[in-house]
A and B are shown apart, each in its own frame.
Chain A
Amino acid sequence: MNQRYRPILLAFSIVLLAAGFAAAEPYQMVVVNPGGPSPSEQAQQQVDRMAKEVGVAAGWPESATSASYFNDSAAALAFIQQSKPGFVLGTPGFYLKYRKELKLSLFCQALLSGASEGQYFVVAKKDSFAALADLKGKTLAGTHLNEPEFVQRVVFEGKLDPEVKTKSMRSLRALRRLTKGEVDAVLLDAKEHAGMGTLEFAKSLVTIYQSKPIPNAGFMVVSGNVAPQQVKALAKALGGFCEMSSGTEICRDFDISGFKPATDATLSGIVKLYEGK
């Protein structure tokens, strides 16, 4: 090889190596909602819009900020491992399942209807079952059953009989099937539980289980993919984001009323439940 080209090639390989180290995408976010609407073009557009507005508020270049939406935890995991995004907006179930594998660290908690904690409920037909224990051998349905470990270990604190059959489906469908006798009980989150009042056919349903309050998750950093000052900038931007003119509508669309600073300690109680300690 011509000696003249050696330094150029060396420089080139150093650049390539550096590019390898810098392959993380600090301004990229992943939004995970297991069992949520499918990742259609519209859903992608919606999360991308959220990411750009939040990024601009954090002082990031708009063109470099983007987000990807997943309604399937495994697909989100594969994407995060491959694309190395900086941040994840996800559920407590996702955090609990992948916090070690992905080195996730919560830094900002989402407030839902102003609350930093939520509850889960099990509803059944009036005069059918009185308690969770009565569901042995029966069928429980709902959207949140897409995260079965979280539901069993945290929502039910391990009290759901292993012989209960679970079916993951949209909650509205599950409620309809409950009234038709096709399933025996439905697991709902607080918003869905409150929304039952709008459903004429759900008037005959009663609550047979109510979970303890469970802290919300929110924005997590994928450690190693992003510099601490960027985390700080995003946390600061999120603080007042839902009150900003650019943020109000987005927050409403995402059903989030605000954000507040958090740490992994915020979720330590449910981590213990999840790990059976």
Chain B
Amino acid sequence: VNRRESGRLSALVVSLLVMICLAAGGCAFSMHKGQVFDDIDMADFPIDRARLLSTAHHYYRTEGPAESVARALIASENVLIREPDNELANFYGARAALWLIEFGGEEIKREDLAERAQTWAERAMGLDPSRAEYPFLAGAHLGFRIRESIRPSLIRLRNVHEYFRKAVELDPFYDQGGPLRALGTLLVQSPPWPTGVGDIDEGLELLEQAVRMFPEHPANSLYLGLAYMEDKEYESAEEALTRALGLCEKKRWGIPADFWTNQARNALKKVREKRKTD
């Protein structure tokens, strides 16, 4: 009887959600496809805003798994359907989207997600210009879109630069040096002065600062190693990449650890080849 009751309740919740979604012009969860989302039962989501926000907060875990972060994303989107200007929902949505884009696997529809998530981050920025997370996320999503675009434009890199610069000004230590990593890497990889925003010296300085402040975070050493590679400082690159590899403990960092390990291993291989040929 309990199971039947619960089934009825679920059906009721689903039909209610569908009605709400139809009234709002579409369902958030219908936008997502792929294994990560297929395994999520939409009936599990609460309806009221506060509980959805709590779900979005609770299910976002930097170590993953993707299914949990996907839940956080869907919960945020379900709030945004009704309240597009909800600051927390915009933030939670953009944050979960970035995680899924980076670590969620091949099946995530990255371009679409990044486009929407950039809008959420920008909206959150408009609602509270004092939070470093918002320009950081807006820049990361725009940067991703430029990278993946069929027609990437170097001019738009200036916008990414402005977002990351803002985030560094507001709080360079968010996400254990996230803004420092992001701006540092952008400065290292962008076309150099005077054509582009590139400035390898400042980029290296920011990345070194990130490592000094948060030496335990693998991504700080990884991106510093990649920057040294760009600067043809292969000995320093090998040292930083080896350190990054040593820090990538799956137990502590979860799914991102696999991603960073791969990147560090590939880069180390190239660095060692370079050192051999040089």
Point out residues on A near B: beta carbons under 8 Å.
37-38, 40, 42, 45-46, 49, 143, 170-173, 176, 191-192, 194-195, 198-199, 249, 252-253, 255
Which range contains the number of B residues in contact with the other chain?
10 to 19
CB distance from A203 to the nearest CB of B (A): 15
Point out residues on B near A: beta carbons under 8 Å.
147, 150-155, 189-195, 198-201, 230
Residues of A contacting B193 in the complex (Cβ-Cβ under 8 angstroms):
170-172, 192, 195, 199
A170 and B200 contact, Cβ closer than 8 Å, known pairs A42-B189, A49-B151: yes
Residues of A contacting B152 in the complex (Cβ-Cβ under 8 angstroms):
42, 45-46, 49
Residues of B contacting A194 in the complex (Cβ-Cβ under 8 angstroms):
194
Of chain A, the residue at the smallest CB distance from B195 is A255
Of chain A, the residue at the smallest CB distance from B193 is A172
Of chain B, the residue at the smallest CB distance from A37 is B191
Instruction: Please determine whether B155 and A252 come into contact, CB atoms closer than 8 angstroms.
Output: yes
Of chain A, the residue at the smallest CB distance from B192 is A170
Partner of A46, one of B154, B192, B230: B154
CB distance from A69 to the nearest CB of B (A): 12
Instruction: Please determine whether A253 and B192 come into contact, CB atoms closer than 8 angstroms.
Output: no
Instruction: Please determine whether A191 and B194 come into contact, CB atoms closer than 8 angstroms.
Output: yes
Of chain A, the residue at the smallest CB distance from B154 is A253
**What is the bound-complex CA distance between A253 and B195, given in angstroms?**
8
Question: What are 7 pairs between A and B in contact, CB < 8 Å?
Answer: A37-B189, A38-B230, A49-B150, A49-B152, A172-B200, A173-B200, A198-B194
**What is the bound-complex CA distance between A173 and B194, given in angstroms?**
12
**What is the bound-complex CA distance between A199 and B202, given in angstroms?**
14
Q: With a 10 A CB-CB cut-off, give which of A40, A170, A176, A194 has the most chain B CB atoms.
A: A170
CB distance from A119 to the nearest CB of B (A): 15
Contact residues of A: prevailing secondary structure: helix
A253 and B153 contact, Cβ closer than 8 Å, known pairs A172-B199, A191-B194, A192-B194: yes
CB distance from A202 to the nearest CB of B (A): 11
Other A-B contacts than A37-B192, A45-B152, A176-B201, 18 sampled, CB-CB below 8 A, are A37-B189, A37-B191, A40-B189, A42-B152, A45-B147, A49-B150, A170-B193, A171-B192, A171-B193, A172-B200, A172-B201, A173-B200, A173-B201, A195-B193, A249-B153, A252-B154, A252-B155, A253-B153
Of chain B, the residue at the smallest CB distance from A197 is B194
Residues of A contacting B230 in the complex (Cβ-Cβ under 8 angstroms):
38
Partner of A42, one of B147, B195, B200, B201: B147
CB distance from A79 to the nearest CB of B (A): 16
**What is the bound-complex CA distance between A171 and B190, given in angstroms?**
14
**What is the bound-complex CA distance between A111 and B230, given in angstroms?**
29
Of chain A, the residue at the smallest CB distance from B194 is A195
CB distance from A134 to the nearest CB of B (A): 27
Residues of B contacting A42 in the complex (Cβ-Cβ under 8 angstroms):
147, 152, 189
Q: With a 10 A CB-CB cut-off, give which of A37, A49, A143 has the most chain B CB atoms.
A: A37
CB distance from A193 to the nearest CB of B (A): 9
Instruction: Please determine whether A172 and B192 come into contact, CB atoms closer than 8 angstroms.
Output: yes
**What is the bound-complex CA distance between A37 and B191, given in angstroms?**
6
Instruction: Please determine whether B199 and A249 come into contact, CB atoms closer than 8 angstroms.
Output: no
Residues of B contacting A173 in the complex (Cβ-Cβ under 8 angstroms):
200-201
Instruction: Please determine whether A249 and B155 come into contact, CB atoms closer than 8 angstroms.
Output: yes
